[in-house]
Amino acid sequence: MKEISGGALITKILIQNGINKAFCVPGESYLGVLEAIRESKNKFDLVVCRHEGGAAYMAEAYGRLTQKPGICFVTRGPGACNASIGVHTAHQEGTPLILFVGQVPVKSLKKNAFQSIDTEKFFNSMAKYTETIKNPKNIRKILEKAIYISTYGKPGPVVLGIPEDIQFAMVSDKISEVLENKTHKIKSKTFRAYIKELNHSKRPIIVLSGSKWKKETKKKLETFAKNNDIPFAVTFRKNNLFDNQNKKFVGSLGVGPDTNLVSFINKSDHILLIGGGLGEIETNKFSRLVKSKKDQKIFHVTDNKSLINKSSYDLLVSDTNYFCELLCETKFSKNALWASNSKSLRNSYENYIKPKSFKNKINPGLAVKDISDNTSANTIITAGAGNYTHFILRHHKFRELNTLLAPINAPMGYSVPASITAALLNKNKEIICYAGDGCFMMNFQEMVIAFKRNLKITFIIFNNGIFGSIRMHQEFKYPGKTIATSLNNPEFVSLSKSFGIRAINIKDPQHLFKNYTKLRNNFDGPILLNMNTDPEIINPQKTIDELTN
């Protein structure tokens, strides 16, 4: 059998597993892999980034959109630390990701060598699996295991250290045993018993969360909803798991939710949670919905092994897509109380998503609504962190799966890198990248990729000159006493033009869509709109003055 280098074997295994794209900041500690990618020519697309945090975010977005591990290559110490934000994001979001960390030679490990890092100690709290490859003969076994772990159960990140000498070692490639993801299917008896419980409930609600959703499953659930009377909600930043225009969709349990929805779910006697769990935000800092009770049964459909025997809910252990198929085949009798509850919640939701009128001030939610109402249902929206995201989550109506890239750990700087991945994978779709001025400045440098590859991305900056989310909490706790939340920004249009990107200033959010249309109709590549917003409008519901009085 012909021998190949360790670096070539890593590249070969990725391609064999249908992974032909990776994101990186180059480093001398993984030259062996870089050379192998160069030799693979057109079989592998390496996206070169300007910061490891941006590269890791792009890999996370790739994992989310494809359900294959997003691949990120970084150099040791400094590069690994910079990339850890993407690993944390994938960990909380449930996204398959593999971070390769170029390492010092095997003999220099754990000797405090130049730029060295103990990947296992550093990443163990946020990765499903970490390992350093210390023998070239184990490359295939370890990498196949990493791909399996990354996608099995609740998906998540894996971190692999690849020492320099391992990459250059010559090795014979022996095919190892293929690890298969086994699907957990709920037992028929258990499912029938659950349906009996659901039929006897008075105020049921179905809550969707997590990852690993399929488009076919989503469509079946939406058809099921139209034919039945159970309301559907989603968890924080999961608005795209259900068609927001479906009359049974009643909103999100995220930040600043509809108070009528919160009141209903608090009094609900039957909650069916499908997919991911309920976190700090949905449970109001774990003060509600934390366990199943006699008068409020909470059933959780999951195949996450780590929850078995640990959950305080009534677990229905199953692949979510399989469970949903069974649910959608179930016929329920018409229930007047269920129908009344759904209609009332839907009416409340429709009022909730209307942009509020502020005296003498323009609500930026109007700009979001204009984009939502006048762009295709398959338009992909990306968002990072900051109060600007609440306008998007409240006023954009999501229709299709994988059209919202906004992680539940709410990291700043995410939206620009994520939009680049979305555009690379969906060249015929419109990508809208929303960013606050603080959020934008964390990874704006990655726009060079958008220009270089002529990607169809619209960057929209909510520019209010402050760290809005922190200012809101600051004003609430210490009215009028602000510190560290005012921003000194560059001139964003000039900055964008220096990248080769067409850009324009928008003084009034009501004029954003008109200017967006004008730019987009004349140019297919990246464009940017710097939208000035009033810092007084601190969130979709209140001004700073209303917050402090």
Exposure string of 103-113, with b = 16+ CB inside 10 Å and e = fewer, is bbebeebeeee
Exposure string of 334-373, with b = 16+ CB inside 10 Å and e = fewer, is ebeebeebbeebbebbeebbebeebeeebbbbbbbbbbbe
Residue 206 has pLDDT above 70, yes or no: yes
How do residues 315-336 score in pLDDT, each as one tens digit? 999 999 999 999 999 999 999 9
Residue 129 has pLDDT above 90, yes or no: yes
pLDDT of residue 177: 65
Find the mean pLDDT for residues 48-72: 98
Nearest to 260 by CA among 297, 205, 313, 300: 205
Specify which residues 160 forms β-bridges with: 100, 131
Residue 1 has pLDDT above 70, yes or no: no
How do residues 434-452 score in pLDDT, each as one tens digit? 999 999 999 999 999 999 9
Architecture per CATH, domain 3-172, reads as: 3-Layer(aba) Sandwich (3.40)
Residue 530 has pLDDT above 90, yes or no: yes
DSSP 282: T
pLDDT of residue 78: 96
SS3 readout for 222-274: HHHHHHCCCCEEECCCCHHHCCCCCCCEEEECCCCCCHHHHHHHHHCCEEEEE
How do residues 32-58 score in pLDDT, each as one tens digit? 999 999 999 889 999 999 999 999 999
Q: CB–CB of 405/544 below 8 Å?
A: no
- Three-class DSSP category at 461: strand
How does residue 241 score in pLDDT terms, banded at 50, 70 and 90? very high
Residue 143 has pLDDT above 90, yes or no: yes
Q: Say how many residues make up the chain.
A: 549
The hierarchical CATH code for the domain 365-548 is 3.40.50.970
- DSSP line for 304-320: -GGGTTT-SSEEEES-H
Residue 305 has pLDDT above 80, yes or no: no
Residues 203, 458: Cα–Cα separation, whole Å: 42
CATH class of 188-352: alpha beta
- Residue 83 has, within 13 A of its CA and on its CB side, a CA count of 38
Exposure string of 49-84, with b = 16+ CB inside 10 Å and e = fewer, is bebbbbbbbbbbbbbbbbbbbbbbbbbbbebbebbb
Measured in whole angstroms, the distance separating CA 230 from the mean position of its chain's CA atoms is 27
DSSP H helices, 301-402, are: 320-328, 336-352, 365-374, 388-395
- DSSP line for 146-174: HHHHHHSSS--EEEEEEEHHHHHSEEE--
pTM of the shown model = 0.96
Residues 87, 67: Cα–Cα separation, whole Å: 16
Share of the chain above pLDDT 70, in %: 99
- Three-class DSSP category at 300: strand
Q: Do domains 3-172 and 188-352 have the same CATH topology?
A: yes
Query: 274: burial class by Cβ within 10 Å (0-12, 13-18, 19+)?
Result: buried
Amino acid at 394: R
- Residue 137 has, within 13 A of its CA and on its CB side, a CA count of 0
Residue 517 has pLDDT above 90, yes or no: yes
Output the average pLDDT for the chain: 95
Report the sign of the C-alpha dihedral through residues 160, 452, 434, 212, in that order.
negative
- Three-class DSSP category at 293: coil
Rg (CA), the chain: 24
Residue 176 has pLDDT above 70, yes or no: no
Structural domain spans, the chain: 3-172, 188-352, 365-548
- Three-class DSSP category at 74: strand
- Phi/psi at 271 (nearest 5 deg)? -115, 125
Instruction: Compare 112 and 46 and report the one with higher pLDDT.
Output: 46
Measured in whole angstroms, the distance separating CA 493 from the mean position of its chain's CA atoms is 28
Greatest extent of the chain over all pairs of C-alpha atoms, in Å: 77
Find the mean pLDDT for residues 176-204: 89
Residue 178 has pLDDT above 70, yes or no: no
Residues 143, 154: Cα–Cα separation, whole Å: 18
Query: What residues contact residue 221 under an 8 Å CB cut-off, 6+ apart?
Result: 208, 232, 242, 324, 327, 328
Find the mean pLDDT for residues 482-500: 96
Instruction: Compare 336 and 114 and report the one with higher pLDDT.
Output: 336
Find the mean pLDDT for residues 471-479: 90
Residue 309 has pLDDT above 90, yes or no: no
Residues 467, 343: Cα–Cα separation, whole Å: 38
Find the mean pLDDT for residues 122-127: 96
pLDDT of residue 383: 98
